[in-house]
Amino acid sequence: MLSRGSSPRRTNRFAVAGIAGVAAVTLLAACSSSGGSSSSGGGTASAPASSGATSASPTGTPVLAGGNCSSSAAHITFWAWVPGMNRAVNEFNSTHTDACVTLQDPGAGTGEYVPLNNALKAGTGAPDVAEVEFDLLPSYEIQKYLVDLVPYGADKYKSLFAPWAWSQVSQGNAVYAMPSDFGPMGFYYNQQTLAKYKITPPATWDEFAADAVKLHSQNPKAYLINFPANDPQWLMDMMAQAGAWPFQYTGGANLTINWAGPAQQKFAAYWQKLLDEHAVSAIADLSPQESTELDTGTLGGAIYSAWAPSYFAPNVRHSVGQWRAAALPQWTAGGKVGTDWGGSTYPVFSQSKHPAQAAEFSEWLTATDQSWSIVKTPPSSLFPTYLPTLQSSSFKALTYPISGTSQPNQVFSAGALSIPLTTWPPFMTQVLTQGATTFGAVVNGKQTLMRAFTAFQQQETAYAKSQGFNVTT
């Protein structure tokens, strides 16, 4: 409605003005109050799977699995965008008689969150279970949209999950979702490119900086990595590894925001120095340009996550088989600190008429070997928070065409257990959108990262206060 295309088809004088204005306003009347886009998701965000039934659902979204429920079973509606999820749903339905799950894919990220938020706000029409990324979970918790899964036995699975993932879904004694996949980060690099410049994967960030300078001095057109300042998610995940996590939130009205402290400014200064020396490039990440530069050797590597091999593979033409994973460089020599980028959870919503069966499905989907034997394989290719799969030798030994005979999961699995605990503010879409703008100015050299952090501190504090929070630094 807001496109330029809507207006020129109308010719009726005042009506045009009215319609144009009203169209803009009408859209807003339907908008919801929370959630929204998340720039980087569970990694496998892509088009819905084409297999499965195609009968239309009441909301007009095609049904990808289920839909043929017996009248005795509890009907569970499930929204997710991970491709190939229909396989797991069919498996659940064929092995359970008390519940029958119908899968719909309203779209990845925002495509799902917007209708989900609308339905939650409207009080009707929400699914029983839906895919929600880790960083957005507190945004749903604070509005009391989620069912505590402890009464349905969720806490007994705690020991089956990576500690970081379990801490993300629990608040106090409550468990608000079951964790599924995540993305421990590592240095993903092109072996041949780095060999050409006589660089081995750096063990510390000091070595990393030296290598970045070394590579660029040998070839002024090439860089060791791209620094995606426009991607607050990436920045924050890297800040977690540096011990500079900028938020503390454990529910309620108290919120800590700290972008301008010594640890944060030290982190910003490190990257600003590399930007000043032109030792790293500064383009949009996960963009066509970045993919091409990685594939053609303009970029030697990327600080990517465990979902990189499956995310990046479709864009690789020239460098198939040359990609290797290494552990993240460390701030302290000999350290083993990792961090996470993205990942999803499966909460049960308070609108659900069958919370017990919905919880049963969510728990089955995330905490059983049966489910993981399906969703770890393409096209889902989920990287498990579920330890029995994560730590199995068969999972660690998986190979990917772009990585040749190497086993990237060895590296990412090791990093998965050393992720510093983080808590997200309950308005992450605002953080991501505002952050993309505030840090984007760094890409153009209009602003230093340190000053952008200070500005962001003020913007976030102002926003949090306008939302009624008690803000401390």
Partner 1 sequence: MSETALRPAARVVTRPSTPRKRRRRSAYARRQGRAGLAFVTPFMIIFTLIMIAPLGYAVYQSLYTTKLIGGTSFSGFANYSAVLQSGDFWGGVIRVIIFGGIQIPVMLAIAFFFATIFDLGVARWGPLFRAIYFIPFAVPIVVSSVMWGFLLDPAYGPFNHLMNAVGFHNFNWLSGNLMIPSIIIIAIWEWTGYNCIILYTALKSVPRDVIEAAILDDTPLWRIIVRIKLPMVRPAIIMLVFINTIGAMQLFIEPTILNNYQAGVVTNTWTPVIDIYSTAISNGQYQLGAAMAVVLAVIVVAISVASLGFRGRRRGQQ
Q: Return the residue of 60, 123, 288, 334 that touches partner 1, per CB under 8 A.
A: 288
Residues 215-244 that bind partner 1 (CB under 8 A): 228-230
Q: Return the residue of 140, 304, 307, 469 that touches partner 1, per CB under 8 A.
A: 469
Burial class (CB in 10 A: 0-12, 13-18, 19+), 200: exposed
Stretch that binds partner 1, among 23-31, 123-131, 151-159, 205-213 (CB under 8 A): 23-31
Residues 6+ apart with CB under 8 A from 140: 34, 35, 120, 132, 146, 176, 347
Q: Does 119 bind partner 1 (CB under 8 A)?
A: no
Residues 312-371 that bind partner 1 (CB under 8 A): none
Stretch that binds partner 1, among 69-77, 178-186, 359-367, 440-448 (CB under 8 A): 440-448
Distance CA 459, CA 437 (A): 11
Residues 408-437 that bind partner 1 (CB under 8 A): 426-427, 429-430, 432-434, 436-437
Distance CA 9, CA 26 (A): 19
Q: Give the phi and the psi of residue 444 in degrees, each rounded to 5.
A: -85, 0
Say which amino acid occupies 418.
S
Q: Return the residue of 55, 200, 250, 287 that touches partner 1, per CB under 8 A.
A: 287
Q: Does 171 bind partner 1 (CB under 8 A)?
A: no
Residues 25-84 that bind partner 1 (CB under 8 A): 25-37
DSSP assignment of 399-424 equals --GGGTT--HHHHHHHHTT-PPP---
Report the residue number, 25 or 124, with the smaller CB distance to partner 1.
Answer: 25
Report the residue number, 350 or 434, with the smaller CB distance to partner 1.
Answer: 434
Helix-strand-coil split of the chain, %, nearest 5: 40, 15, 40
Distance CA 55, CA 171 (A): 39
Distance CA 353, CA 99 (A): 12
Report the residue number, 269 or 462, with the smaller CB distance to partner 1.
Answer: 462
| Number of chain residues interacting with partner 1 (CB under 8 A) | 71
- 304: which 2 tokens? 């990517």
Report the residue number, 204 or 289, with the smaller CB distance to partner 1.
Answer: 289
Q: Return the residue of 76, 209, 328, 442 that touches partner 1, per CB under 8 A.
A: 442
Give, as one character, the DSSP assignment of residue 161.
B
Residues 139-168 that bind partner 1 (CB under 8 A): 142-143
Residues 251-270 that bind partner 1 (CB under 8 A): 253
Stretch that binds partner 1, among 92-100, 318-326, 386-394, 465-473 (CB under 8 A): 465-473
